[in-house]
Amino acid sequence: MIPLSDENPTVRPAVMTGLLLAAIGVVWVVVEGAGTGDRLVRAVCTLGLVPGELTGLAPLDSGVPIAPGLFCAVDAQPLNWLTPVLSMFLHGGWMHLLGNALFLWVFGNNVEDVMGAARFVAFYLLCGLAAAGAHVAAAPASVVPTVGASGAISGVMGAYLLLFPRVRVRTFVTLPPIFFRVVVLPAWALLVWWFVIQLWLGLPQLARTGEPTGGVAVWAHVGGFVAGVLLVRAFTRPDLVEARRRMLLQRGLLQGVDGGT
């Protein structure tokens, strides 16, 4: 299920959400070469999060082939300690980038609306770090580099679940090869379903703890989402929640849209 838009107006423009999207886009073009040549794979290898490098459980010079003729080796560079943050702004391909951007735009603007720009970016980064921690804990010896904003965005989704559970979300639902349809779902149904899928996909990985893992870092998604649920109240500003409530009252929307309380 892919969210397309929500019926959830905001009081003020989502400046920080826009800046985060712009930063991700700039990194994709400037650092990763928009996925062309070998700049993408070199950026992922150098700046991606490698659990085994952080834990010291992966032998130096071990690693994985990351592209034809390119081997991503474990090292002990000081830069490795910054990869939990740096990797949040990297992506592995156009679909990875566009999917994360869509989720951040649909859910981020309303969460920012009740936190304010400064608190929202702090919340976003903390959820991203929690996601990185969960990924490392699930595969502490992995030598596979991980990149993407999805852990931090999962935290935004967890916050949205608590703040706006009944908001209607236009969702593209696919059940290949016969069912492709846009339906309107309450946010809680979409987000709870998404979280259950992450758990279902992640449980088999626990049996392989300590081995290299590839594909989607589902435990990063789980960790980020749980962090968002736990941290949202500490970052929400009562004055912004009240401003939102007044706006919804003035527009006669309070009965159909959650108030963000």
pLDDT, tens digit, 9 for 90 and up, residues 36-93: 878 898 899 899 999 999 998 888 888 788 777 778 888 888 899 999 999 999 998 9
DSSP assigned state of 87:
G
**Can you give the residue range of the structural domain that contains 26?**
2-251
DSSP assigned state of 80:
G
Residue whose token pair is 């400046």: 15
Mean pLDDT of 179-205: 88
Point out which residues pair with 134 in neighbouring strands.
none
CATH number, domain containing residue 139? 1.20.1540.10
Please answer whether residues 189 and 171 qualify as being in contact, where contact means their C-beta atoms are separated by less than 8 angstroms: no
pLDDT tens digits, residue range 176-186? 777 778 889 99
User: Is there a domain that residue 67 lies in?
Assistant: yes
**pLDDT surpassing 60 at residue 210:** no
User: Is there a domain that residue 33 lies in?
Assistant: yes
User: Is there a domain that residue 35 lies in?
Assistant: yes
Residues 6+ apart with CB under 8 A from 59: 74
pLDDT of residue 30: 94
Phi and psi (nearest 5°) for 185?
-125, 150
Separation between Cα atoms, residue 261 and residue 245, nearest integer Å: 9
User: Is there a domain that residue 260 lies in?
Assistant: no
Could you give the 3-state DSSP secondary structure of residue 48?
Answer: coil
User: Is there a domain that residue 68 lies in?
Assistant: yes
Q: How many domains does the chain have?
A: 1
User: Is there a domain that residue 256 lies in?
Assistant: no
Separation between Cα atoms, residue 10 and residue 117, nearest integer Å: 13
User: Is there a domain that residue 258 lies in?
Assistant: no
Predicted confidence band at 214 (pLDDT cuts at 50, 70, 90)? Answer: very low
pLDDT tens digits, residue range 3-49? 999 999 988 999 999 999 999 999 999 999 988 878 898 899 899 99
Residue whose token pair is 């996909």: 201
* Residue-wise burial string across 177-192, b where 16 or more C-beta atoms lie within 10 A, e elsewhere: eeeeeeeebebbebbe
Please answer whether residues 219 and 208 qualify as being in contact, where contact means their C-beta atoms are separated by less than 8 angstroms: no
Separation between Cα atoms, residue 142 and residue 21, nearest integer Å: 29
User: Is there a domain that residue 19 lies in?
Assistant: yes
